[in-house]
Amino acid sequence: MAQYQPLNAQCFVKKAFQPLFSDENNPQLLYVCKINPDVSNRHPRIMHSHDDLVELVLIYTGASEYLIHNKKYPVKAGDLLVYNSGVVHDENSTPDSELGFYTIAIGNLHMPDLRPDALIPDDAGYLFRAGHHFDELKQLFEMMFRNLADGEPYAERFCNSLMHALLDKVLSVVNAPTPGIAPEIPEVDEPNILGSRVKKYIDQHYTEPITLQSIANELHASPCYLSHVFKDMSGYSPIQYLLRRRIGEAQTLLITTDYSVTQIAGMVGYDTQSYFNMQFTKNVGISPKKFRQNYIVADKHVNATLKKKPKKNK
């Protein structure tokens, strides 16, 4: 006689639980983005940060190296990145990286005992291995992207509910043991401290007409030594970092506001639109106007950012 096999067809909710979200913590889904490998290579999303939202990034194919805050991290398929507000990150794919990823942005997030627009403690790191959670995370990202991209009825409400489920799953990943991820290195030696001061100064003043000499004067250091230390830390010279910071913030303004290209050029520190256009095209591969058109209006199956954030008037 064959041995009896249970059906295992029904699961019960056996434990009482406290909902993660309530009236005091009612996050809002702002946009969902899916970037295919050919797009990330041709038109990279350069160094930027967000002051009023949290970004979650899931790498679904390829490998590369990202600069996050002041440290380079190798990223690959199966990695989850969590960017609290204010974290500067440089999503710079190499020609052979073939990197594909999803991104969602969440605003109005107020987690218990954390600052606004922070999903995890600021010292918890940025890079996490999704492990066995990867397939479920990918399905949630894809469902959100697909429903919004296809304009499904009630897509916004449905995707906002999926976002709640996604955040719960992300917290499961973040709070699980993740061997192989290097811990944050404390900034205790003089070069690291100086490098971090250079980064902080540029982040605070990138819209101003600063030079290597003016940075050195402000920080009371030799321009040559300062440049050497900063490049060892970040992989960029201070002026390269300044340029990428300006271009990255310009990309954000192009895809989240209706400011004109001329206005955006001035807002990120360029005196003339022509020079801004030249630098933007050199680093991104297309003009600012084309980037705005392609990023928002392009084929939804290749590269679509679906903005839920109200546009500012010109």
What tens digit of pLDDT does each residue of 153-197 get? 999 999 999 999 999 999 999 998 755 454 454 555 677 889 999
Scan for tokens 């290749």, then name that residue.
Answer: 302
At CB < 8 A and 24+ separation, what contacts does 167-170 make?
A: 167/20, 167/27, 167/106, 167/119, 168/20, 169/133, 169/136, 169/137, 169/140, 170/56, 170/80, 170/82, 170/119, 170/137
Q: What's the confidence (pLDDT) of residue 310?
A: 39
DSSP string, 120-147: S-TTS-SEEE-GGGHHHHHHHHHHHHHH
- If pLDDT is split at 50, 70 and 90, which confidence band does 305 have? very low
Amino acid at position 277, single letter: N
- Plot region of 278 (φ>0 → left; ψ -120 to 50 → alpha; else → beta): alpha
**Of 106-120, 169-183, 297-311, the least confident:** 297-311
- If pLDDT is split at 50, 70 and 90, which confidence band does 106 have? very high
Q: What's the confidence (pLDDT) of residue 308?
A: 39
pLDDT above 70 covers a percentage of the chain that reads 83
Scan for tokens 């705005």, then name that residue.
Answer: 292
Q: What is the mean pLDDT of residues 248-270?
A: 95
The C-alpha atoms of residue 174 and residue 194 are separated, in whole angstroms, by 30
Strongest mean pLDDT among 11-15, 34-38, 91-95, 275-279: 275-279
Look over the chain and give the mean of its residue pLDDT values, rounded to a whole number. 85
Over residues 281-300, the pLDDT tens digits come to: 999 989 999 999 887 644 44
